[in-house]
């Protein structure tokens, strides 16, 4: 009986602490700045409502070249919040053609204040807080990723 309890306890200790997370699809993403820089990232894609709702919640770190891209099938005004998000983030609101429409820098961790896009967008890119300033990213710069229509080959 003790052996059974030891096995059960061992299995319990192997369970992840905190909310479970399925691995999201990773894809390369580049940003072309007006200054002529090409910035390369590897981002997770949040395509479904459940993936978008979870976002980067409960993460305690994000690699410098990592991020999460929230893609919407139709353009819409969106608003984000930082509930249960442990790290500061920069949010880049992106038009369907890949143009950065607006940016919210250094969103405050755990805040429930709305962070609006300011207009209809097709995608939102979350990067480490401070990345936008450090890398010189500005509204009007261009994002290239396979999920954005301007990145797809003509049919």
* Tens-place pLDDT, residues 43-73: 999 888 888 888 888 899 999 999 999 988 8
Task: Identify the bridge partners of residue 46 per DSSP, sorted by sequence position.
Answer: 70
Q: List the domain boundaries for the chain.
A: 24-151
CATH number of 24-151: 2.60.120.1140
Kind of pairing between the strands at 100-107 and 38-46: unpaired
Phi then psi for residue 132, to 5 deg, are: -60, -50
Distance from C-alpha of 116 to C-alpha of 114, rounded to nearest angstrom: 6
d(CA 82, CA 50): 16
Residues 136-155 have pLDDT tens digits of: 999 999 999 987 766 543 33
Q: Tell me if residue 31 falls in helix, strand or coil.
A: strand
pLDDT-based confidence at residue 6 (cuts at 50, 70, 90): very low
Contact 27, 146 (CB under 8 A): yes
For the whole prediction, is pTM greater than 0.75?
Answer: yes
């Amino acid at each position: 009986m003790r052996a059974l309890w030891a096995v059960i306890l061992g299995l319990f200790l192997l369970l992840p602490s905190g909310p479970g997370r399925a691995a999201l699809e990773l894809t390369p993403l580049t940003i072309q700045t007006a200054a002529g820089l090409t910035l390369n990232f590897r981002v997770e894609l949040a395509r479904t409502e459940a993936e978008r709702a979870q976002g980067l919640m409960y993460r305690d770190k994000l690699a410098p070249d990592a991020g999460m891209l929230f893609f919407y099938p139709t353009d819409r005004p969106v608003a984000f919040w930082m509930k249960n998000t442990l790290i500061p983030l920069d949010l880049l609101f992106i038009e369907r053609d890949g143009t950065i429409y607006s940016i919210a820098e250094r969103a405050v961790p755990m805040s429930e204040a709305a962070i609006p896009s300011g207009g209809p967008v097709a995608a939102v890119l979350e990067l480490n807080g401070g990345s936008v300033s450090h890398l010189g990213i500005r509204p009007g710069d261009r994002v290239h990723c396979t999920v954005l229509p301007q990145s797809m080959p003509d049919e």
